[in-house]
Amino acid sequence: MRQYSPLTIISYIIGPLLIITSHIGSLIVFKTGLSLGAVAWIISLYLIRMLATTGIYHRLLTHKSYRAPAPILWVGSVVAAAAGQMGPSWWKAHHLNHHLYADTYQDPHSPYTPTQNVGGFYWSQGGWLLSPQFFPVDLPPDVEKDVVLRVIDRLHFVPLVALGAISYRIGGLEYLGAFFLSTTLLFHGVQTVNSLSHISGDQPFYTDDHSRNNRLVAFLTLGEGWHNLHHAFQASSRHGITIRAGQIVYLPDPTFRFIKTLEYLNLASKLRIPGESALLASAKTGEFSLATGPTLKP
Ligand SMILES: [Zn+2]
Ligand SMILES: [Zn+2]
């Protein structure tokens, strides 16, 4: 286990405190009501920050499923930090461990391995963030050696607080409440990948974990719910792929569209996508296409 400095511990703990604050702050909208503009603010902040979480933190920073200039990674990381998703080192450390130990006791947030007997869904949907497992075992060296990313990591709460201040400045208490509500919805949207996408959905590809393709999660997370494909092909920039009747079928994946847009603008290159033969070789045949009960790895 890595030894964290007192300042890093304080910096990291601010993260869950701000998420709890967002939950409570969301109640402001019951007092102020929501104008059309405030609803648009909620939706815009949700979509932009979700894209930064999925397209930058997940598919670029963690899995390197495409290449992009450093400023794209830096700016995207600031936006993802403004989502309340913590900093790039913290995020990547936990996510790599999730893949390395998926659905075993070393997985930080598997619904099958709650460490406090509080119930799998609650644990994977956020309970793990309020446990000692909140602190990563170690931080990824490649992120730590990038000074810009390291600064964003330790000051991850600044973009989130700044966005709250901007919201208040734009529209007073109503927009501050809208910001809190958007942040809370976003937090739970992202967490459904850890919970529902390991509990419910189909498994068109062979993996040694419980990852599922879940349509609702894919809708909420702009394509991240096609999680069985992602566990089977972690380096793929495209998650929306499945197999039906032996045929490859492409599914809605707005995050992949975002990456394609970056590519069109010459801001992304070398998109990694599995070939058809690799996809078919990993596909389950019909009678095994639905998940059966959990069988944990040792
Ligand atoms: Zn997973
Ligand atoms: Zn991943």
Could you report the per-residue pLDDT of 124-143, keeping only the tens digit for each?
A: 999 899 998 999 999 999 99
Same-domain pairing of 89 and 15? yes
Same-domain pairing of 225 and 134? no
Same-domain pairing of 138 and 265? no
pLDDT at 289: 40
User: What is the Å distance from ligand 1's center to 101 Cα?
Assistant: 10
Report which bound ligand comes closest to the CA of 103.
Answer: 1
Give the count of domains, the chain: 2
Residue 207 lies in a domain: no
User: What is the Å distance from ligand 1's center to 47 Cα?
Assistant: 21
Same-domain pairing of 11 and 40? yes
Cα 116 from chain centroid (whole Å): 23
User: What is the Å distance from ligand 1's center to 295 Cα?
Assistant: 15
User: What is the Å distance from ligand 2's center to 224 Cα?
Assistant: 9
pLDDT at 112: 87
pLDDT at 2: 86
User: What is the Å distance from ligand 2's center to 143 Cα?
Assistant: 16
Residue 166 lies in a domain: yes
Residue 137 lies in a domain: yes
Report which bound ligand comes closest to the CA of 234.
Answer: 2
Same-domain pairing of 25 and 106? yes
Same-domain pairing of 134 and 219? no
Same-domain pairing of 260 and 176? no
Answer with the one of 198, 228, 249 that is the final residue of a domain. Answer: 198
Residue 209 lies in a domain: no
User: What is the Å distance from ligand 2's center to 156 Cα?
Assistant: 21
User: What is the Å distance from ligand 1's center to 198 Cα?
Assistant: 6
pLDDT at 127: 87
Same-domain pairing of 88 and 13? yes
Range(s) of the domain holding residue 238: 215-288
User: What is the Å distance from ligand 2's center to 231 Cα?
Assistant: 7
User: What is the Å distance from ligand 1's center to 108 Cα?
Assistant: 11
Residue 296 lies in a domain: no
Same-domain pairing of 258 and 123? no
Specify the pTM.
0.92
- pLDDT < 50: residue spans in the chain: 118, 287-298
pLDDT at 59: 98
Same-domain pairing of 103 and 137? yes
